[in-house]
Structure 1
């Protein structure tokens, strides 16, 4: 049995766990055909991660994360997952990558967002959402440019999933800066813990504006009743979507084989090879 770790946590809503598992089976079998000892199943809990006695250390031996065995077993700490020395394959976000994660992992590939409004190939954008009736609904610009309704969102309460999220706050911050504005355009800012929670908060009137990545918005339209009370009033500009990563210690041979496997699956939805 493989001791390596794989996870696809970023869009792993309870309602689509079977779909996510099926995506991993597709990837797992393609990796195994390339001679990679891919694990049978993805992990969803800290308790599923192999222990790392003494904690997780970087290439220089500095402690960068605790032993997963010391974490609440039924939760999943994304950052500890991404830093695990046995990580074969997982999704992350370019926000954490820019904030230091890139020093400890390697990028294997990028998913395709062609199936979603606001996506094109490896690029995605976030829908700016408000309660229905509070602003005109808009479609994603064909050229992928930002469409930020400054007058509409000025003075409103902004909610975001997490401070290190590219889709939830960083992309919008940069688009506002390009327009000569900043997050102080909002009357308040609060953290929800997840895109789905942000949508619910807006529908319930606890916040006014959120930036929701296009795939999460598509999931919300399928499974979150609160999304029926929310509409798209703008879009962030398109940027690179969530990368597939592996541990820094993964061998060059294995990384190359995974990229070849992804290239062979490039006709499949949501999978695209990195250049």
Structure 2
């Protein structure tokens, strides 16, 4: 099924921006409007469909081989976002209290992290779980699985968890649009890692895939062959 979705930062408050971004990419091409998957099963179906026209996904999903029918046509830019640079991002470690930490060249971890209850969106999320588990060497940790970064922020704010790792762009969106974020502070950062990919299904015609890749670069994103910073 020919579908297009950009779910990674598809917050309702900025949906008009996401729609405008896709409309710029598909201008002059016979491509459908965006769909907005809500359930994980719907998202997995889009990621695994060789007819998908465009989708974005996190590096953890790719590393864990959850996608086998897509090819990368671009990499998301994190320029201009605190904690991001080029195609790499850091996750902010957010808590209800603590001294605000600035991102560094490597992980900036608060003391006692291994004794805190962590809210994480999913086991395959590079930004919400895999990065902090690797940086802090968390093996036996109390984790509240929430299903989404926004839900993790709310879980920390209302006391169900002590800390959450939120990728820097999602954290910026939360500061702008999520009331629960206003009572939280950044107490640490993960080390920088490769960010999200833009992909198209293996059955997308080469001229369409090439056109989308070119337009991603024109729209301020990075080409697929760009080296990670």
Q: Under a length normalisation based on structure 1, what TM-score does the superposition of the two structures give?
A: 0.76
Query: Counterparts of 1:146 and 1:45 in 2: how far apart (Å)?
Result: 33
What SS class does the counterpart of residue 44 from structure 1 fall into?
coil
Deviations 1:89-144 (A, max 9, x none): 11111111111134221011011011211100111110011112xx2211111x3x
Query: Counterparts of 1:13 and 1:165 in 2: how far apart (Å)?
Result: 17
Q: 1:152: how far off?
A: 3.2
The aligned residue for residue 168 of structure 1 is 128
The aligned residue for residue 210 of structure 1 is 164
Query: Counterparts of 2:176 and 2:219 in 1: how far apart (Å)?
Result: 26
Query: Counterparts of 2:19 and 2:208 in 1: how far apart (Å)?
Result: 22
Counterpart mapping for 1:43-62 below 5 A: 43-45=35-37
- Tell me if structure 2 keeps the 8 A contact 1:44–1:76: no
Deviations 1:157-211 (A, max 9, x none): 11100111010001112212xxxx3232x4x111011111111111111100110
Counterpart of 2:75 (choices 110, 113, 116) is 110
The aligned residue for residue 182 of structure 1 is 138
Q: 1:77: how far off?
A: 1.8
Q: Under a length normalisation based on structure 2, what TM-score does the superposition of the two structures give?
A: 0.91
Q: 1:242: how far off?
A: 0.8
Superposition RMSD on alpha carbons, in Å? Answer: 1.9
Query: Counterparts of 1:86 and 1:265 in 2: how far apart (Å)?
Result: 23
The aligned residue for residue 68 of structure 1 is none
- Tell me if structure 1 keeps the 8 A contact 2:71–2:202: yes
Q: 1:85: how far off?
A: 2.8
Query: Counterparts of 1:124 and 1:247 in 2: how far apart (Å)?
Result: 25
The aligned residue for residue 177 of structure 2 is 223
- Tell me if structure 1 keeps the 8 A contact 2:89–2:167: yes
- Tell me if structure 2 keeps the 8 A contact 1:4–1:37: no
Counterpart mapping for 1:89-104 below 5 A: 89-104=54-69
The aligned residue for residue 7 of structure 1 is 5
- Are 1:250 and 2:200 matched, yes or no? no
| Gap regions ≥5 residues in structure 1 | 47-71
Runs of 4+ residues deviating >6 angstroms: none
- Tell me if structure 1 keeps the 8 A contact 2:117–2:161: yes
Query: Counterparts of 1:153 and 1:207 in 2: how far apart (Å)?
Result: 12
- Tell me if structure 1 keeps the 8 A contact 2:48–2:68: no
The aligned residue for residue 37 of structure 1 is 30
